[in-house]
Amino acid sequence: MNTRNLILFAGVAGLFVLTGFGWSWNLALSILNMALLSSIMAMGVNMQWGYAGLFNTGVMGFTALGGLAVVVTSARPVAEGWAAGGWTILFSLFLGAATIATAIFLYNRMPKGRPRALTVAAVLLVGLFVFRHFFDPAVAAVEAFNPATYGNIGGLGLPALVAWPVGGLLAAAAAWAIGKTALGLRSDYLAIATLGIAEIIIAVMKNEDWLARGVKNIIDLPRPWPVPYEVALQQNETFLGMAASWGFNPVTGSTITVKLLYAGLFTAVLVLVILLSELALKSPWGRMMRAIRDNEVSAAAMGKDVTRRHLQIFILGSAVIGIAGAMMTSMDGQLTPGTYNPLRYTFLIWVMVIVGGSGNNWGSLLGGMLIGWLWLIVEDLGPGLMGLITSGMADGWLKSHLIDSAQHMRLLTLGVVLLLVLRFSPRGLIPEK
């Protein structure tokens, strides 16, 4: 940590303080929480890109899987839904997995040729029909139960904190499947494959109503352990007493307390991630990773299994993204698959990594906080700012169009920022040592 970096971090901290004094602490803290989460995601991407040079464009998908994990683990179970078809759905999913496993087994064991191709195709086709035979009626039964409020099987009802590592596990499993197929091929194939898997994950979450109610959204997810509900705080005697003696409004105070607690939790996770990855980066394993990134051929000549190491780091980075995705969903208290957008959840994270400095965890943190702040502050203040700029114009079509389009300005701005950084300071704000 040299002085220049300290000044950079102090500057970003100053932005948040300025937001607090200039607008409201509520706004500053919500931006801070989102920025912290984005920073964790940026660290996951940085592991893949900065340590290993892997280009993952499916960040959104891993984030969404983390969110799904929250529903699966910590949402309240819907007993009627389970009774209607929960077990049959699980059974048919197991059948589907068994079919694929059998197909892979046969493919590996049978001699190459037409009989193998035909057998594998037949196994897959029969498996599909058997799967649909069990799956379709069970799904219909589950979704028929009280579709206005439920229509799903619910989760396990476990504490929300348990859901975070589960989010990492889900994302890791998806990363394993993708990495197995696309790693070891040309570098941009991984980008295209991850772009696709992200779209498919979102499509599954939007359409499989039995799982998490699809676009009807799951609301009212439980909060993680130390965070209370605002309403409960406002009725709490001790809290009201504190509010009276310190002289703050209990309503504003309660929302700020909740956000502060979230910020504390997120910071704890962030510190853990940064600590572990710094330790890993400085270990022989980290040196090997960078050696592979800088020259795959010579690393392979030294006996390193490049594809395997790539798979390893791809899974690790995706797991970190999944954890952050789970944290985000538990903070929101709801899962809304319709809001996942690749520009926001994939490419924005990439801008954070590149601007901050790829290969450097502190850079990702700085980039996450800075770009996160910029992105959200424009969302809140953009229309007002545009209104100020256009205040001299006559009311009419153009003016309202400009005010409406203020939020699209940030895409443009971010693109320009990304291009400028890549061109003039490709190592980012805090370069790799």
Partner 1 sequence: MDFLNALVAFLNFVFIPGLAYGSQLALGALGVTLIYGILRFSNFAHGDTMAFGTMVTILVTWAMQSVGIGFGPLPTALLALPFGIAATAVFLLLTDRVVYRFYRQKKAAPTILVIVSLGVMFVMNGVVRLIIGVDDQDFADGERFIITAGEFKTATGLAEGLALKTTQGVTVITAVITVAALFWFLQKTRTGKSMRAYSDNEDLALLSGINPDRVVQVTWILAAALATIAGVLYGLDKSFKPFVYFQLLLPIFAAAIVGGLGSPLGAIAGGFVIAFSEVMVTYAWKKVATYLLPESMAPEGLVQLMSTDYKFAVSFAILIIVLLFMPTGLFKGKSV
What residues line the site for partner 1 (CB under 8 A)? 53, 55, 57, 128, 136, 181-182, 185-189, 191-193, 195-197, 199-200, 203-204, 206-207, 342-343, 347, 350-351, 354, 401, 404-405, 408-416, 418-419, 422-423
Q: Using the minimum distance from each CB to partner 1, give the nearer residue, 4 or 180.
A: 180
Least distance in angstroms from the C-beta of 410 to partner 1? 8
Closer residue to partner 1 (CB): 139 or 335? 139
Q: How far apart are CA 110 and CA 82, in angstroms?
A: 40
Q: Report the residue number, 240 or 291, with the smaller CB distance to partner 1.
A: 291
Quickly count: other Cβ atoms within 10 Å of residue 137's Cβ: 14
C-beta of 282 vs 408, nearer to partner 1? 408
Q: Which is nearer to partner 1, 252 or 405 (CB)?
A: 405
Q: What is the DSSP string of 116-151?
A: HHHHHHHHHHHHHHHHHHHHHHHHHHHHHS-TTT--
| Distance in Å, CB of 411 to partner 1, minimum | 4
Two tokens, residue 94: 């197991």
Query: Could you give the 3-state DSSP secondary structure of residue 226?
Result: coil
Q: In angstroms, what is the minimal distance from the CB of 245 to partner 1?
A: 49
Task: Provide the minimum distance between the beta carbon of 181 and partner 1 in the complex, in angstroms, as a whole number.
Answer: 5
State in angstroms the smallest separation of the CB of 408 from partner 1: 4
Cβ of residue 421: shortest distance to partner 1, in angstroms?
A: 9
Q: Which residue, 194 or 254, is less far from partner 1 as judged by CB?
A: 194
SS (H, E, C) 340-397: CCHHHHHHHHHHHHHHHCCCCHHHHHHHHHHHHHHHHHHHHHHHHHHHHHHHHCCCCH
DSSP code of residue 339: G
CB of 414 to partner 1, least distance (A): 6
CB of 368 to partner 1, least distance (A): 17
> What span, in angstroms and rounded, lies between the C-alpha atoms of 428 and 35?
18
Ramachandran region, residue 154 (left: φ > 0; alpha: ψ -120 to 50; beta: rest): left
**From CA 112, how far away is CA 98, in angstroms rounded?**
22
Q: Which is nearer to partner 1, 9 or 55 (CB)?
A: 55
By beta-carbon proximity to partner 1, the closer residue of 56 and 74 is 56
Q: Give the bridge partners for 335, in sequence order.
A: 218
How near is the Cβ of 296 to partner 1 at its closest, in Å?
12
Residue (134 or 350) nearer to partner 1, CB? 350
Distance in angstroms (rounded) separating the CA atoms of residues 326 and 329:
5
DSSP 219: -
The H or E element containing residue 258 is helix 250-282
Say how many C-beta atoms besides its own lie within 10 A of residue 282's C-beta: 10
* Residue 155 exposed, middle or buried by CB count within 10 Å (0-12, 13-18, 19+): buried
